[in-house]
Amino acid sequence: MNKYFNIKDKVYDITEKYPETIDVFVTHGFTQLANEKMRKLMGKTISLEMALKSKRVNVDLFTEKLIEVIEQNRNFIDETLTLENKKEEADVKIDGVLPCPVRIPLMDAFNEWMEEEGSKLGMTVDYELKAASAGVDWLKEEIEKAETEKELSDLFISAGFDLFFENRLMGKFKSKGTFEDITGFEQLNEDFQNEDINLQDPDKEYSIIGVVPAVFLVNMEELKDQKAPTSWEDILKPEFENRVSLPIGDFDLFNAILLNIYKRYGEDGIKKLGKSLSKGMHPSEMVKSHMKIERSAITIMPYFFTKMTKKDGPMKAIWPKDGAIVSPIFLLSKRSKKDKLKPFVNLFASKEVGEILSHNGRFPSTNPEVDNQIPKDQKYMWLGWDYIKENDIGRSIKECERIFNESI
């Protein structure tokens, strides 16, 4: 029992009172909670305790995380660290979405820098940096409406392939050479620039400051005597049909998974991925089964959430041997404003911000000075710049979604 909620409380009541907790639930596999209708339907019938037990999640650790997010949000409001600072005709406009697990320390660092260093620049700054749980629809609307570079914000920070490569969105500006990588990194962190992977844009247009890796959380009790999957290829095998919980509510990460599976295994791979989806985790199946919860043997989730599991519990985190699929955290800056933007880019690409991403959130950083504390034999799976250039990524995502939905 704590002063915010009881484990016997209904999930819906907790998320209604503390909406900042929704992202924690969604990213930990409760993807239905991203949808308001499903949140009402499922959340009103299931207590927090029941929900966590259904996934074999450590109740104490998960509760601690919820309390941490709630208190961070309360402090964030109490200290009036606003996420928005609108100024008419500002010299610099910054828009973006910050990963929820690290948004408070990132905003602390940003606000502190603005007070100490930003004030010396003699510039007005218009910034809006929302939590990832707010989604990117608001950004998409603004980008879609913008017809000229002048109507576009000067600096963007967010994960998301569709946002940054969709032809009707950022793609239309990319084709005009609007952006430039001004991080100044001659070499990225060795984790992301080696013989197996290279996140540095060869065209020097887009910057990537970190990644969100997708790993497996396996319920060994549900697997019983069956061998645990150790690769993405394993996930697509017939023995795991209807046994996998996918991060459908986390659009950025889910799109990254779809694209990488499509690149490696084609349409057949997407069909197999759809068949792997645990029926107990799909909204339509949940309604038909009158809210009966089936336990998934495997949950695919951001690496950050694996630290909530008990060391001696049934849940085992597995880093795929063919690489954790990554959703890049992009930083886009206008070429025409690079002189004014350079101090802000230096901040977001700094060692300090890199360590907040990597150490606080387990979102490994590309800053070469950051120790990501990830064993060198644990690889990453990246879509690749050549593949991005050669394909219409927005169209590919839509095609993957169509095949996936038809195969469920």
Query: Where exactly are the structural domains of the chain?
Result: 11-80, 90-212+327-380, 213-324
Bridge partners (DSSP) listed for residue 214: 302, 325
Cα angle 313, 315, 317; round to 5:
125
Tell me: pLDDT of 83 over 60: no
What is the rounded CA–CA span in Å between residue 318 and residue 231? 9
Q: What's the CATH class of domain 213-324?
A: alpha beta
What is the tens place of the pLDDT at every residue in 265-321?
A: 999 999 999 999 985 443 333 333 333 345 688 989 899 888 777 677 788 899 999
Q: What is the mean pLDDT of residues 212-237?
A: 93
pLDDT tens-digit readout, 336-346: 999 999 999 99
User: By mean pLDDT, which of 134-143, 146-155, 301-310, 359-368 is the weakest?
Assistant: 301-310
Instruction: Write down the pLDDT at residue 248.
Output: 84
What lies within 8 Å, CB to CB, of 273 at 6+ separation is 235, 236, 246, 257, 258, 261, 404, 407
β-bridge partners, 245:
299
| CB 245 within 8 Å of CB 218 | no
| Statement: residue 36 has pLDDT above 80 | no
Q: What was the pLDDT predicted at 294?
A: 52
Homologous superfamily of 90-212+327-380? Periplasmic binding protein-like II (3.40.190.10)
CA distance 394 to 262: 13
β pairing state of 244-245 and 207-219: unpaired
When the pLDDT of each residue in the chain is averaged and rounded to a whole number, the result is 87
The tokens 């360590």 sit on which residue? Answer: 355
- Residue 286, pLDDT score: 34
Report d(CA 360, CA 105) in Å as an integer. 9
pTM: 0.81
137 to 353, 391, 392: CA distances (angstroms): 25, 23, 20
Say if residue 44's pLDDT is above 50: yes
Residue 52's nearest CA partner among 67, 37, 63, 68 is: 63
Distance between CA atoms of 363 and 99, rounded to whole angstroms? 9
90-212+327-380 and 213-324 have identical folds: yes
Taking the C-alpha atoms of residue 61 and residue 57, their distance in angstroms, rounded to an integer, is 8
Q: Give residue-wise pLDDT tens across range 12-25.
A: 999 999 888 887 88
